[in-house]
Amino acid sequence: MFGAKGSGDTSGYGGLVRTAASSGSSERPYGGYFDEVADDLERAYPDFADAIERVVVDRGELTLHVKRERLVEVSTILRDKLLFEMCLGVSGVNYPADTNRELHAVYPLLSMTHNRRIRLEVSVPDSDPHIPSLVEVWAGNNWNERETFDMFGIIFDGHPGLTRILMPDDWRGHPQRKDYPLGGIPVEYKGATVPPPNERRSYR
Amino acid sequence: MTTYSDPYASSRETTEGTVFSVTGGDWDSLVTEIGATKEERVVVNMGPQHPSTHGVLRLVLELEGETVTELRCGVGYLHTGIEKNAEYRSWTQGVTFVTRMDYLAPLFNETAYCLGVEKLLGITNDVPERASVIRVMMMEFNRISSHMVALGTGALELGALSPMIFCFREREKVLDVFELIAGLRMNMAYVRPGGVAQDLPAGALPKLRETVKELRRDFKDNDKLLIGNTIWMKRTEGIGFLDLAGATTLGITGPVLRSTGLPWDLRKMQPYCGYEDYNFDVITANTSDVYGRFLIRMNELEQSLRIIEQCIDKLEKLEGAPVMVADKKIAWPAQLALGGDGLGNSLDHIREIMGTSMESLIHHFKLVTEGFRVPAGQVYSAVESPRGEMGVHLVSDGGTKPFRVHFREPSFNNLQATAAMCEGSLIADIIGAVASIDPVMGGVDR
Amino acid sequence: MGLIVGLEEKLPSGLVLTSVEKLAGYMRKNSLWPATFGLACCAIEMMAAGAGRYDLARFGMEVFRASPRQADLMIVAGRVSNKMAPVLRQIYDQMAAPKWVIAMGACASSGGMFNNYAIVQGVDHVVPVDIYLPGCPPRPEMLMDAILKLHENINNEKLGPNRERIIREVEEAAMAAKPTHQLKGLLA
DSSP string computed for C96-116: PSS-EEEEESHHHHH-TT--S
Kindly list the partner chains of chain B, i.e. chains with 3 or more CB atom pairs below 8 Å. A, C
In a domain, A117, yes or no: yes
Asked whether residue A190 carries a pLDDT value surpassing 90, the answer given is: no
Thinking of the domain B82-326+373-445, which architecture would CATH place it in? Orthogonal Bundle (1.10)
Higher pLDDT, B194 or A28: B194
Q: Residues of C with CB below 8 A from A190's CB?
A: 180, 183-185, 187
Parent domain of A126: 24-175+182-203
DSSP SS3 for B90: coil
Q: Cβ contact (<8 Å) for B23 and C48? A: no
- The tens digit of pLDDT for each residue in A119-176 reads 999 999 988 889 999 998 998 899 999 999 999 999 999 898 888 989 988 888 898 8
Taking CB atoms and an 8 Å limit, are C43 and B172 in contact across chains? no
- Select the residue of B83, B270, B378 nearest A115 (Cβ to Cβ): B270
Is the peptide bond prior to C98 cis by the omega test (within 30 degrees of 0)?
Answer: yes
For residues B337 and A192, give the distance between their C-alpha atoms in angstroms, rounded to a whole number: 31
Q: Where are the domains of chain B?
A: 82-326+373-445, 336-369
Chain B's closest residue to C37, CA to CA, is B49
Distances (CA, A) of C94 to B110, B148, C73, C120, C128: 39, 33, 12, 21, 14
CATH number for the domain harbouring residue A86: 3.30.460.80
Shortest CB distance from A191 goes to which of C115, C118, C181?
Answer: C181
Give the mean model confidence (pLDDT) for residues B150-154: 89
**Partner residue facing A165 (CB), from B75, B372, B398:** B75
A13 touches chain B (CB under 8 A): yes
Q: Which amino acid is at B343?
A: L
In which band, very low, low, confident or very high, does the pLDDT at B39 lie, cut at 50, 70 and 90?
A: low
pLDDT at residue C188 is higher than 90 = no
Q: Does A171 touch chain B (CB under 8 A)?
A: no
Give the total number of structural domains in chain A: 1
| Residue A17 belongs to some domain of the structure | no
Q: Give the model's confidence band at B106: pLDDT under 50 very low, under 70 low, under 90 confident, else very high.
A: very high
Whether B168 sits inside 8 A of C45 (CB atoms) is: no
All partners of chain C with 3 or more CB pairs under 8 angstroms? A, B
Across the interface, do C115 and A184 touch by the CB < 8 Å criterion?
yes
Q: Of C88, C109, C117, C182, which to mutate for an interface test with A (greatest number of A Cβ within 10 Å)?
A: C117
Residues of chain B with C-beta less than 8 angstroms from the C-beta of C45 = 185-186
Q: Is there a cis peptide before residue A29, judged by omega within 30 degrees of 0?
A: yes
pLDDT surpasses 90 at C156 = no
Residue C1 predicted with pLDDT over 60 = no
- pLDDT of B3: 43
Domain-embedded: residue A15: no
| List of residues 6+ apart from B343 with CB closer than 8 A | B183, B336, B337
ipTM comes to 0.84
Q: Is there a contact between C114 and B80 if contact means CB atoms under 8 Å apart? A: yes
Distance CA B173, CA A161 (A): 45
pLDDT value of position B5: 47
In this complex, which of A180, A181, A188 lies closest to C181 when CB atoms are compared? A188
Chain C residue with minimal CA distance to A186?
A: C115
Mean pLDDT of C9-13: 71
Indicate the range of B1-5, B225-229, B433-437 predicted with least confidence. Answer: B1-5
